[in-house]
Amino acid sequence: MNESNSPEQRLHALDAVRGFALLLGVAFHAALSFMPGWPPGIWAMNDNSPSQFLSDAAFVTHIFRMSLFFFIAGYFGRLLYQRLGARAFWANRGKRILVPLVAGWIVLFPAIAFIWTVGITKVFGGTTPPMPEMPKVPGAFPLTHLWFLYQLLLTYVAVLAIRGIVARLDPMQKLRGLVDKAVAASIRTMTAAFTLGLPVAAALMSLPMWFYWQGIPTPDQSLIPQVPASVGFGTAFAFGWLVHRSKDALAAIVQRGFAHLVIAIVATGWMLHTMHASPMAQPGLTKTVYAMVFGVAVWGWVLGLTGAALRFLSNYSATRRYIADASYWIYLAHLPVVAAFQVWVGHWPLHWGVKYPFILVASFAVLFLGYHYLVRPTFVGQLLNGRKYPRKNPPPTAPTSPSNVTDLGNAGAVARLSGVTKHYGKSTALAGIDIEVRAGELLALLGPNGAGKTTAIGLWLGLIEADAGDVMLFGGSPQDVARRRRLGVMMQDVELVKELRVRELIALAASYYPDPMAIEEALAKTGTTSIANRPYGKLSGGQKRQVQFAVAICGRPRLLFLDEPTVGLDIQARETLWANIRALLADGCSVVLTTHYLEEAEALATRVAVLAKGRVIASGSVDDMRSLVSRRQISCESTLAPETVRAWYGVVDASRDRNRLLITATDAESVVRRLLATDPDLRRLDVREAGLAEAFTALTREAA
């Protein structure tokens, strides 16, 4: 029993249902060239081997597939709305629905028109009949099979408008509480299929010309909403939305899934029988009963199939996830592909039992290959599914729990790279590294050029994506703008807008944050008040860095990325910047600092991570780093030659700086004893622990 499934598990099942509904559409359209009795020109091809079986099978799938899709869309619609809020919801829907609708139509319509022309010419024996014209009615437009995206957008608008009205009328949620209970109760008592079927039936009964086979007429010829589709699919969407509201509804769907399937099968059997007797609805009792049975069948299938999926498909499966991800693209792109195969095989002297499977297999092969190579790893995949997968990526991991989406992390790690790998072509920038930034600390990322520091920061800033592993920023993805509102960034090699004044640059950056500093405060803190009204392009290199620092901190960040912040600064400006960093740390801000000035890291860092060749070769406090290198620096005035000393046991290196001999030693005590014994004139002896610089040099040399 899956009633105790987590919300995440339920999403896997519903994702699978959505994918199923979309892929069923491909099978449905693939069957349409085999319809017996269809006049030439209705579809791209009339196959020479028609099939009553395929006609019936297509009818059965057509009863429920789009209603099922809209039901799941309603469920996910509310989930998304709850998760993102209104603004981000519309931005998301714009990207995922509106852009595919517009761009898809621009690309697909010419392809579909071309295939149709070729197919119909073939059907008519080489002569092209005049193409049917669009009906001369307002709003007429050939939406093609992309009508469902248009309908979905209209439905979002309608449902959110209703939601807004209900929220005003029912501020205490009393009414909505009752509706939530009624939704679950109607499913559990098996009345949902009958009550939800009523509006569908009413809309169908109102149609003056209704072929039973067509079910809810497809609104693919007009931009004006059509009543049967708006009622039928709108009901499905709204009920999906309400099911997401109701905490008990999914459990009830699971519980009554089998019973709903039985109702659906019985109703569908009766409809098939009736339709064979008379395919066209005649006004009267039969039409009324048929419409009502159709409504019941729609909801029997929708609730039955959803229940079955929740019962059997709730666990995560990489294959199912892949297919579910692919289904959106496949449905968008399938029509010209399927029609092309239908046209190709239409006159082959073979039985439909051979040709139909061939069309399906060939179409899916083309579409899945297209998905795998042209969509999944590219911006199209990003657009359609919200993320893209690098080609060399391991199979996708189970998605994180929805609860993580709103969790901005606790007082532990504010940012983390876990097992992150990143390649640029054949070179490996990061090789499975783990680094975390803790709240209130300054983490200095050190390493030679090409060690992977900039890549690590780029991942945290959402500028690049990891090939493998997880990148976490405040508990979630760095791609999320809301999370980045806690960031401040000072990048290396960035020139701000040279025509704008310093004050304007700060004001511009501050406008991105919910609670920024006043401009004067940011200017004062960073010592840039005196240059506030000067254009950025007229500043010196050091002044520009100061302004960039002001831009980075003006949003009161909780995590500040500083990439080589003190390059080009004079001593006074550097002291000011260090003081600012310390003040930010004292205020609980975390800082990630990359620098080649090791004394800077030594002065500021809480922790140090040394990177080399894409790996973390050492990590810990500055003292930890020093202790990793058991070397000490010996300095003295001596006449001894460095070459002589370099040959002694325990000496790593020796050099001369004017009259002073500088020795790096692993066994400082024995070297000092030998120095004193060998040079009686030795003066001003100084022995000190190795600094971070020596530790860094030693560590990176060992890693090389």
Partner 1 sequence: MNTLNADTLPTSRLLGAYWTETRYEFMRMLRNLAFGGPILLVPLGAYLLVAVAISADAITKDPSLAYILFSGFSTMAVTMPALFSVGCILALEREAGLMKLKRAQPAPTGTWLVAKTLVAVAFGVLAYLPLLVCGVVFGGVDMDAGALAAMSAVLIAGAIPFAAIGLFIGSLVSGSAAPGYANLFYLPCIYLSGLFIPLPEFMHAQTVIWPAFHLNQLALGAGGVDKYHFLPPQLYAAVLIGITVIFGGLAIWRLARKG
**Nearest approach, Cβ of 83 to partner 1 (angstroms)?**
9
Q: Count Cβ atoms within 10 A of the Cβ of residue 694 and give its class: 0-12 exposed, 13-18 middle, 19 or more buried.
A: buried
Cβ proximity to partner 1: between 344 and 536 the closer is: 536
Cβ proximity to partner 1: between 109 and 597 the closer is: 109
Q: Count Cβ atoms within 10 A of the Cβ of residue 500 and give its class: 0-12 exposed, 13-18 middle, 19 or more buried.
A: middle
Q: How far apart are CA 404 and CA 476, in angstroms?
A: 7
Cβ proximity to partner 1: between 502 and 612 the closer is: 502
| Pairing of the two strands 615-620 and 468-473 | unpaired
85: Cβ contacts below 8 Å, ≥ 6 apart: none
Interface residue list for partner 1 (CB under 8 A):
85, 87, 91, 99, 102-103, 106, 379, 405-410, 461-463, 474-475, 480-487, 489, 491, 493-497, 499-500, 504, 507-509, 511-514, 535, 555, 561
End-to-end CA distance of the chain: 57
Q: Count Cβ atoms within 10 A of the Cβ of residue 504 and give its class: 0-12 exposed, 13-18 middle, 19 or more buried.
A: middle
**Nearest approach, Cβ of 523 to partner 1 (angstroms)?**
17
**Nearest approach, Cβ of 511 to partner 1 (angstroms)?**
4
Contact predicate 77/29, CB 8 Å: no
Cβ proximity to partner 1: between 423 and 582 the closer is: 423
Name the residue type at position 377.
Answer: P
Cβ proximity to partner 1: between 153 and 202 the closer is: 153
**Nearest approach, Cβ of 493 to partner 1 (angstroms)?**
5
Q: Of the candidates 2, 1, 6, 94, which has an alpha carbon nearest to the alpha carbon of residue 399? A: 6
Cβ proximity to partner 1: between 166 and 491 the closer is: 491
**Nearest approach, Cβ of 430 to partner 1 (angstroms)?**
18
Name the residue type at position 466.
Answer: A
Give CA torsion, residues 325, 331, 334, 338, to 10 deg. Answer: 110
Cβ proximity to partner 1: between 410 and 540 the closer is: 410
Cβ proximity to partner 1: between 510 and 645 the closer is: 510
**Nearest approach, Cβ of 66 to partner 1 (angstroms)?**
26
**Nearest approach, Cβ of 490 to partner 1 (angstroms)?**
9
Name the residue type at position 572.
Answer: Q
Contact predicate 301/292, CB 8 Å: no
Q: How far apart are CA 568 and CA 537, in angstroms?
A: 16
Q: Angle of helix 147-169 relative to helix 52-93, nearest 10 degrees?
A: 50
Tokens of 441: 């600390």
Cβ proximity to partner 1: between 377 and 650 the closer is: 377
**Nearest approach, Cβ of 252 to partner 1 (angstroms)?**
30
**Nearest approach, Cβ of 616 to partner 1 (angstroms)?**
23
